[in-house]
Structure 1
């Protein structure tokens, strides 16, 4: 059975090369984040002013920055920050979306109107990144503040998706049967509705990881992310702005890391959407 499943996955990967690339990159970044102390050749905070702005070489594969710190080591440790922030933001946004979207979709009526107007639509009227910038600027930079700031603007998309899915699922026959048997509202939602709306939420979460990585890099670039000397891809790009022409490697490698990480989750999200949607699976021959 396991061998058949593995062959099935491999056959799907061959039909979707971008999915294989996305999965491979996600695994690579996860390995970097989990095993950074063993993979990084140098201490990411070690300063060597005698070797500042050195180009790529055998001793420093990606070169060094303006303080002589090894760029490869900082990129590897930066993967830990990016994925930690992104996964926390997606988890918190999904939780808030399930709560507010689930309540609005399940009960409907006045509660639905209230949540829609005073919560979902109100937050949608504000650009998420500007709301995050204002939040972090008010509370100060830091990992927890960064996660909260991004989740405040990111939960609305999950809430709208959950509400739409719950509105459709609550009219299904198995939900009506559970109500007729006297099941509680919480049991109906957790046991009957939630498992049937997980597919679009999984896809949305994968794509949301890409957005969260990019948003974290943006705030760190603006100096509103994790405080130094903690390695962050966005902060590395901010520090390298002054050396774009005399030491372009200080910009190129962190930018490539951000680009590859964002693309990997987008590729993975598209592959999950094609695989989890039966109509798409039939159309593409999966």
Structure 2
């Protein structure tokens, strides 16, 4: 009875988290229609206005509407996170599948040398160095985060493929003359999808946080584009006289990262057959 109740509560929590993430996605998608002001419009006569006065979240030091900038910041954060996870997942699945399925010298080179080389350096520092070398920009930001994020997916896929390649259905497919590519794509990868989906949900949270960190350091999307991290950077000089400048973008980051982290945890718990 406790097991059933626990599963029911997990499903309810999952629907709540999915609803929140869907709301965030809709906000990001329809930001131009929802924003009451141009997020890049400078109105020095309305600078540092508190919430209210025609501005739901107040204005920043240049008189820009914080609410509109938070909405447009969601487009950048969610767009970057989704693209980074997609790229990292594709690269990680290809590298991990090759290393885990074939083993031997391929596994030695890819796992022992390539993956460990990337894991030896902190991912955020490698991303900072990469963006600092090429310059800030959306494309460089996505490429830098994908460059540092694919290793986790590769190691996960490698471990799952190594365990799955010895299963009976793989031996049956091989005895029927199926090619290696068909065995991987049609038989192994669909059966290891659950842990990959869980890792992707957690990776989304990490990507949002990494994008905010790089933007805070001035290595993200250049101004006047609105980003939660750059908004926090702008708010540093006004933490005492205008704390709302930091509170709203920080709250957006916290809510998004927590929702994605909870999604990953819930999916992992629901996939745990030991319950």
Which band: TM-score by shorter chain? over 0.9
1:108-187 mapped onto 2 (5 Å cutoff): 108-187=103-182
1:62 aligned onto 2:57 = yes
State TM-score, norm by structure 1: 0.91
1:89 aligned onto 2:67 = no
Aligned to 1:3: none
**Match 1:189 to one of 178, 184, 190:** 184
Aligned to 2:24: 29
Indicate how the Cα distance of structure 1 residues 114 and 36 shifts in structure 2: closer, same or farther if over 3 A, else same.
same
Contact 1:106 1:166 (C-alpha < 8 Å) held by counterparts: yes
1:237-248 mapped onto 2 (5 Å cutoff): 237-248=232-243
Q: 2:34 & 2:14 partners in 1: Cα distance?
A: 26
Q: Which structure 2 residue ranges, 5 or more long, are not aligned?
A: 1-5
| Secondary structure, aligned partner of 2:181 | helix
Q: Which structure 1 residue ranges, 5 or more long, are not aligned?
A: 1-10
Indicate how the Cα distance of structure 1 residues 58 and 17 shifts in structure 2: closer, same or farther if over 3 A, else same.
farther
Q: 2:93 & 2:15 partners in 1: Cα distance?
A: 30
Q: 2:271 & 2:130 partners in 1: Cα distance?
A: 36
What's the offset of the Cα at 1:21?
A: 3.9
1:220 aligned onto 2:215 = yes
What's the offset of the Cα at 1:13?
A: 6.2
Aligned to 1:211: 206
1:272 aligned onto 2:267 = yes
Please, what is the CA RMSD of the aligned residues? Answer: 1.4
What's the offset of the Cα at 1:15?
A: 4.7
Q: 1:232 & 1:247 partners in 2: Cα distance?
A: 18
Contact 1:137 1:224 (C-alpha < 8 Å) held by counterparts: yes
Q: 1:273 & 1:104 partners in 2: Cα distance?
A: 25
Contact 1:25 1:260 (C-alpha < 8 Å) held by counterparts: no
Which whole-Å deviations, capped at 9, do the CAs of 1:11-61 have from their partners, x for residues lacking one?
966456543442232112101111011111111111110010100005111
**Match 2:100 to one of 96, 101, 105:** 105
What's the offset of the Cα at 1:269?
A: 1.1
What's the offset of the Cα at 1:276?
A: 2.8
